[in-house]
């Protein structure tokens, strides 16, 4: 259940209340008895830190592709000047 912070516009009384999401907002001030109690906006009470799923999966956007090491077939083909496949360009470089 979330904690909501309320402040009275008439007398300035301020207090936090633990309420269910579907509970109606409070309006009656327990201090002065007027119908001037209103919810305040406040920051969340937690931060996502560390090397957990959030930091690695969503924080920086898309993952950076890693460079693949050159294989023996690739290195031999580039030395011959061809693509390494069985096509007409193999060795014709």
Mean pLDDT of 47-56: 63
Residues in the chain: 93
pLDDT of residue 62 exceeding 60 = no
Rounded to 5°, the CA angle 39-45-48 comes to 140
pLDDT over threshold 70, residue 42:
yes
Reported pTM:
0.46
CB 37 within 8 A of CB 63: no
H or E stretch covering 54: helix 53-57
Question: In this model, does residue 77 exceed pLDDT 70?
Answer: no
Q: Give the span between the Cα atoms of 89 and 77, in whole angstroms.
A: 10
The CATH fold assigned to 1-43 is Rubrerythrin, domain 2 (2.20.28)
Q: Which residue has the higher pLDDT, 90 or 86?
A: 86
């Amino acid at each position: 259940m979330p904690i909501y912070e309320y402040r009275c516009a008439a007398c300035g009384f301020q207090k936090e209340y633990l309420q269910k999401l579907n509970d109606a907002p409070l309006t009656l001030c327990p201090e002065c008895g007027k119908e001037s109690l209103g919810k305040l906006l406040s920051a969340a009470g937690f931060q996502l830190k560390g090397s957990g799923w959030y930091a690695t999966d969503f924080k920086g956007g898309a993952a950076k592709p890693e460079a693949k090491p050159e294989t023996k077939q690739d290195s031999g083909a580039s030395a011959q000047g061809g693509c390494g496949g069985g096509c007409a360009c193999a060795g014709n470089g």
